[in-house]
Amino acid sequence: MRIKEKNIEKSITINSVDMLNKPQNVDAQLETENFEIVLRGPVTVMNNIDEEAVKLYVDLANVSRGEHRLKIMANIPAGVELVEIKPNEAVIKVE
């Protein structure tokens, strides 16, 4: 008989967000800092996850100059589930 490993949730604070598809001729600044991400997964996997294992990003494709609220996306390790990102949007100023 195989025993199923217990799943746990873990909250991690991330203070860096990558900006994908940033046009070369613009300056983009993230107005929002410090995001909390909640992940769920097996205990043995979750014990090895820290802020280095998670990458948050926003996609700046088709974004014009001005202030925008963009959805935060996450690249997370295999075997874990994304429960929540707080806040789930970032304010980006494009000049």
Per domain, the residue ranges of the chain are: 7-94
Give the integer Cα–Cα distance in Å for 69 and 30.
Answer: 10
Flag whether pLDDT at 82 surpasses 90: yes
Percent of the chain, pLDDT > 70? Answer: 98
What's the pTM value of the predicted model, to 2 decimals?
Answer: 0.88
Q: How many CA atoms lie within 13 A of 41 on its CB side?
A: 17
Out of 2.170.120.30, 3.40.630.30, 3.40.50.720, 3.30.360.10, select the CATH number for domain 7-94. 2.170.120.30
Contacts of 71 (CB under 8 A, 6+ apart): 58, 88, 89
Whether residue 35 has pLDDT greater than 80: yes
